Structure 1
């Protein structure tokens, strides 16, 4: 994204996204049943590019999939269309294979960067052997594009 596009974002975009994600994931926990789920988007944001659009997408990357929020809700709360499109691309679509979902992600550069950060975060969080294989396959797909 060019600097001029980055400047078009409101300066508080990452804070807004973090606030929306924190509210949306309230009461959710990681698979250990103890860790608040919001720690995962925080970890993804820490591994993501530092641009406002990337940070906002990282914070919001699971809200459409794991909460009741919709694209329209995000737009109504002030999230720019291209960030909402990236979050939507990151949301698993029923009926598509893992690889097909990754191809949807790869078609959106903003989503692709965040999905790579998401996979790295998941790999750093005590993954099972099957998860390691899955994310390794996914990273190869995304990195080959």
Structure 2
């Protein structure tokens, strides 16, 4: 099984029965983010980018599956902890793989056409994403 296939299998299992803000299967989000990348490395990081926050999968599980330190380090950078938002963004900026994936993640998150009737809260979230993109591109 290739790196991409393994990452996809793990993500599909981890996001099973999860839905996004529009009520659609959550796996569509990482699939869309991953589709921006042709290389196996970035594709795998993108497909797994929410697995650690949204499931019981751990870094150790991914290490045990055989993912490289490059994948693990990028996912560590992409995984939010208790740090403030700017600290999180700085962590992402320090890892070029994580940065590439995060920019695609934000781009997809900003697509309000996925939400049937966007609310004020959705538009407020857009401001946060716009700020993050600007911050990450500095």
TM-score normalised to structure 2 length? 0.89
Unpaired runs of 5+ residues, structure 2, are none
Among candidates 13, 17, 29, match of residue 7 of structure 2: 17
Identify the residue that residue 58 of structure 2 maps to in structure 1: 70
Identify the residue that residue 4 of structure 1 maps to in structure 2: none
How big is the shift at 1:118? 0.2
Among candidates 39, 43, 47, match of residue 59 of structure 1: 47
> How many equivalent residue pairs?
131
The answer to whether structure 1 residue 50 and structure 2 residue 38 are counterparts is: yes
1:35-57 Cα shifts (integer Å, max 9, x gaps): 1110110011122x321110000
Q: Which runs of 4+ in 1 moved over 2 A?
A: none
For 2:110 and 2:129, locate their aligned partners in 1 and report how far apart those are by CA, in whole Å. 7
Identify the residue that residue 86 of structure 1 maps to in structure 2: 74
